[in-house]
Structure 1
């Protein structure tokens, strides 16, 4: 798989590859979960008998019914009217003014002869018309002919006074009560009747009086538009919206689907012909957010190479999609049981695998994502949008697993962690059962207890079974695998111990140095330690040619030319790689063996050869490499040289060790051995400091005890 990923990265840059993998993951998740948000729909028609009882899957407002109810309430509102007493007084004043003009013009008629009176009458009629024209704007209804004006001017003062009083009284009586637009005609008819049948009203003036009185009446109670509008709005607002509640029965089994029921089925989207697309878009948005979070997580990780990050993306996607698919299988069985089958889902399997194989941050994010997805998958249709009890169950169980896996040292500890997660599951289910305030039967309580235990134990069991396949398939060396490889009973470690005991001891010392330094700079200390155990296994091919395994002072190199000795020393790297590959050791361990010398120069034999031939090619005395590609391998490269050099010191002390460690580290740096890894100068100084502290503890000055006296 690593080779495949390497080829992919040569063709596609990591960000594009990451986006592509997550896009495929999101599409597959959408296809798996799309049925969970579609809901159930019914192919019903008007006046058809419902084959089953149908409930609303959500709360919706019936806007059409709400509008009808509010319109009906608005129509029932009584308009607000305003009565104006002032209008009545104004109209009476106009009537009095009219008769004042008549009386005033009557007084101006002089002369005794008929001819003179006739002339004066015409003159005052004209004057009276002008006076009445001034009233036309306020008293527009009075239309009197010249004949009418002649009658008024010729009437006696007693007749004018009587007519005035009767008209004023009639108008006052009518205007003292509210008159609306629709009541004005009745009021005019009443005042006309009162005058027409009045015995005191001058007979010759009744026609004129009726017209004056009728036109004096006006509307004195008008509609207050603002107040009426406010009252209508208040009435409309007091009508609550008509809602179809979630879980509400819309139609009973065997009931005829009338227009009202059909309309409610349309609103709730339960008809096949009125299926809403909004849930599908909502699911797409959720998955998009989840993939964005994963993209940001892997994109921002600077501690791993693109190859490792790509491998982690593939593992995360596989584990995540497998978990979603498993949930869907559980969901298929959900309808067959009255209990929540989702509580049987192995809550800890995904976080356990990802915590071990990828990282804690990835495990946490994926746990939350699975919880949200489970809430949608296990939703109960008409009761909830997200099944929160199952969502929280998966999140809490997963988080508990992540916390407890920090202390896992081998595979057998996984089952112990499973029991711890089971306890957390039981506590959560107890919380859920108590909070629902429902009385459960013994068989239901037993089910939930068993579900909590089975969920956790199944997580551990499946994880133990799946881990080896993922480790071998992706070439992963997990902490479990490393701990297994560190067992002294491993055949290869026993081979080193038996065939090259000095190398074995050297490897243990290098492992101590490398592990401490790796932990100080945030690298994988366990990988460094185990890698050191096997890094010199190639020396078992010719153990006697390496100084730590030489006994009785015999050194076979004394009998060989420098170039032959150099070839033997250099060959232990290739020999070690062959042995490790033959035993199918993890790639990371093989890389340690291959890179722990980088391309360094075998100085002793190079300078010895140069004494014999000054033109000797330096490259023949260098290791084949490659140079260290990771921090762990760079640290092991330095630790290997430091341990061998310090062991050769006579009377080592802190100052000598410090100078020697610094010299070796700087020599590796200047030789370009760290050019292909991400080791910084600051980290190199930290490594030197840790090496010195560790070596000082190993080669400290010993107290010289006094010799026992002889008796």
Structure 2
């Protein structure tokens, strides 16, 4: 059991990477569309570029959505409408009419032959209305719409909707049928009577009507015709007309559905998994060979894999919503983020791999991949200092411009003309550019979640008005001044060999913050001429000097400084000796334990930490130079750095002898400038 646990502990980083690799692969495959990939690309009105295509199996030609919708609309406009007829209404209305007529025309002046004729006209009009049927509402159907009238005795009659009478037309209908032979007063009285007595006897049967419509719609065929196996579909070079386009679309749909609905499903799933795994494996191999420091850090590897999965997820969600908005996804955020935390090469490599993965799920994959890869290259090449807001806005504008130019070129190639160019797509590119500006807050979020440090945070930390550096300046002004000098030397050295100048400057500013705990025990802060070391043993003095690195780590953690900055505090003395007190103790005692006078380390493990160690030692020791000359400074710099090399302080740092020589030259030149040395002319 112990052997197993030991093996697990030794290889836990590798086991974690394997689990991360597997989980990310399965997640991306899960996001992929649940269809096969049709091997041919085609567009209506364009020549068929592949070889002659024969039907691989029997399949039906599917109707387009427009055709199906047209048929459905036609059925909806012509399907039967069912109305219920209430019996007995006509007889009741006639009875009410007779009574009402007698009331209205009861004065003696109107009891004449004319009234009798008028009564009969009204009675005939009522009979005509109810022979057709009186509607309770205006249903706005077309006049030629077929309707079925059914009464309680199940007697049905089929007529057109226009034959039914709508109550809204009652006044007009009555006036037209009475004619102009009667007086205006009599006509008004008749209209009033009809409004009082006429009642609807027909009402829509919604249930039967909807059921009839559903039955009609269910009989709509989704296909038209069939293509038999081995039948020639289209020849090479033939222009894809509407009929061929429908056949090709049907074949594509049938092909994809057959793959995922048969036993081949598992094989396609395995194929997708292999391709995704191969892509992610290339990323791990790249990290292992060219970015080994990143590869060894599981947090950083997780961060990179998370960004890839996030971009695939966002793209999938947009495609599922509406594939026309595919270019709204700000894919260029990823190379920007990776460049901010790592470097341009890693950002571009990861971006290209992500675009290759997205090629499986986006429409017009070649066009999409071309646009995104070009945009990613422009992103890497144009964004130099992300922490400068103006640079970000300029770069986003350039990226948007490249999108528009490339899309315009593809459109002209495909269409051969400018008519039909959709300006809405250009708007999507502008939205994508605006979304890319979200990279600034996103970097801040990533810093908090993954504990990473970007140039934006480093710029904030380099502000000498920050709370911690102000406290250092107040409590240990000599140390603060020393840190500023070291920062200038280290930054110049980093620029000379291509190291991270911003990171090393911040590391230099904070590397000696531990001296705040006992500032007077360090010579640069002793302004009174009193040396507290005179009251201590050499071993105690060495202990206080050594502990400033541990105190610095404690203070840095208290102020939440990033680990990359704390590394400079931890390593700026490596495992070197507190040489002055060691030699004093050795002169007093023959046997001296070197460990009591050695810094705990670790040794510098990067170019930046190695540069800081050199600059810190040279700047501190340069204060002891008396009457400095160019020769003295050259020998002085050579001796200090050579001793560090000989003691093996730079064995773990990725720095070459050539780079060390370049750093020496920078330090010699800078120190000569500090001491205002002039060329020594012969007397």
Q: TM-score category by the smaller chain?
A: 0.5 to 0.7
CA distance in 1, matches of 2:507, 2:396: 30
How far is 1:34 from its partner?
3.8
Partner of residue 638, structure 1:
614
Aligned length in residues: 499
CA distance in 2, matches of 1:9, 1:307: 15
Q: Contact (CA 8 Å) 2:412, 2:418: kept in 1 or not?
A: no
Tell me, yes or no, if structure 1 residue 32 matches structure 2 residue 56.
Answer: no
TM-score norm. by structure 2 comes to: 0.64
Partner of residue 144, structure 2:
none
Tell me, yes or no, if structure 1 residue 65 matches structure 2 residue 231.
Answer: yes
Q: Matched residue of 1:652: which SS?
A: coil
CA distance in 2, matches of 1:441, 1:431: 14
CA distance in 2, matches of 1:634, 1:657: 20
How far is 1:595 from its partner?
1.4
Tell me, yes or no, if structure 1 residue 290 matches structure 2 residue 279.
Answer: yes
Q: Contact (CA 8 Å) 1:342, 1:390: kept in 2 or not?
A: no
CA deviation digits over 1:225-275, x for unaligned, max 9?
A: xxxxxxxxxxxxxx97999979756879xxxxxxxx999799845558679
Partner of residue 323, structure 1:
311
Range with greater deviation from structure 2 (579-588 or 627-636): 627-636
| Rg (Cα) greater in structure | 1
CA deviation digits over 1:47-91, x for unaligned, max 9?
A: 9977436899xxxx976336xx9xxxxxxxxxxxxxxxxxxxxxx
Equivalent runs, 1:268-307 vs 2, <5 Å = 268=255, 283-284=272-273, 286-301=275-290, 304=293, 306-307=295-296
Change (3 A) 1:375 1:51: farther
Equivalent runs, 1:229-378 vs 2, <5 Å = 248=243, 268=255, 283-284=272-273, 286-301=275-290, 304=293, 306-308=295-297, 310-334=298-322, 340-378=324-362
Tell me, yes or no, if structure 1 residue 421 matches structure 2 residue 410.
Answer: no
Q: Contact (CA 8 Å) 2:60, 2:224: kept in 1 or not?
A: no
CA distance in 2, matches of 1:611, 1:55: 106
Partner of residue 21, structure 1:
20
Q: Contact (CA 8 Å) 1:25, 1:317: kept in 2 or not?
A: yes
Tell me, yes or no, if structure 1 residue 524 matches structure 2 residue 512.
Answer: no
Tell me, yes or no, if structure 1 residue 628 matches structure 2 residue 604.
Answer: yes
How far is 1:574 from its partner?
1.6
How far is 1:471 from its partner?
1.9
Q: Matched residue of 2:230: which SS?
A: helix
Q: Contact (CA 8 Å) 1:654, 1:696: kept in 2 or not?
A: yes
CA distance in 2, matches of 1:499, 1:327: 54
Partner of residue 449, structure 1:
426
CA deviation digits over 1:436-468, x for unaligned, max 9?
A: 3566679x41x223211110111221x222212
Tell me, yes or no, if structure 1 residue 52 matches structure 2 residue 222.
Answer: yes
Q: Contact (CA 8 Å) 1:19, 1:295: kept in 2 or not?
A: no
Partner of residue 563, structure 1:
539
Structure 2 unaligned segments of length 5 or more: list them.
Answer: 1-6, 39-57, 63-217
How far is 1:11 from its partner?
2.0
TM-score norm. by structure 1 comes to: 0.62
CA distance in 2, matches of 1:411, 1:465: 12
Q: Contact (CA 8 Å) 1:566, 1:602: kept in 2 or not?
A: yes
Partner of residue 368, structure 2:
390
CA distance in 2, matches of 1:477, 1:448: 36
Change (3 A) 1:65 1:567: closer
How far is 1:492 from its partner?
1.3
Q: Contact (CA 8 Å) 1:244, 1:264: kept in 2 or not?
A: no
Q: Matched residue of 1:376: which SS?
A: coil
Change (3 A) 1:293 1:264: closer
Change (3 A) 1:266 1:467: closer
Partner of residue 625, structure 2:
649
Change (3 A) 1:36 1:376: farther
Q: Contact (CA 8 Å) 1:25, 1:321: kept in 2 or not?
A: yes
Q: Contact (CA 8 Å) 2:384, 2:391: kept in 1 or not?
A: no
Change (3 A) 1:282 1:440: farther
Structure 1 unaligned segments of length 5 or more: list them.
Answer: 1-6, 70-238, 253-260, 380-385, 705-711
CA distance in 1, matches of 2:464, 2:539: 35
Change (3 A) 1:510 1:241: closer
Equivalent runs, 1:303-702 vs 2, <5 Å = 304=293, 306-308=295-297, 310-334=298-322, 340-379=324-363, 386-410=364-388, 413-435=391-413, 436-437=415-416, 444-445=422-423, 447-461=424-438, 463-701=439-677
| RMSD (CA atoms) | 4.1
Change (3 A) 1:242 1:702: closer
Change (3 A) 1:55 1:655: farther
Q: Matched residue of 1:607: which SS?
A: helix
CA distance in 2, matches of 1:30, 1:432: 29
Change (3 A) 1:17 1:320: same
CA distance in 1, matches of 2:250, 2:584: 100
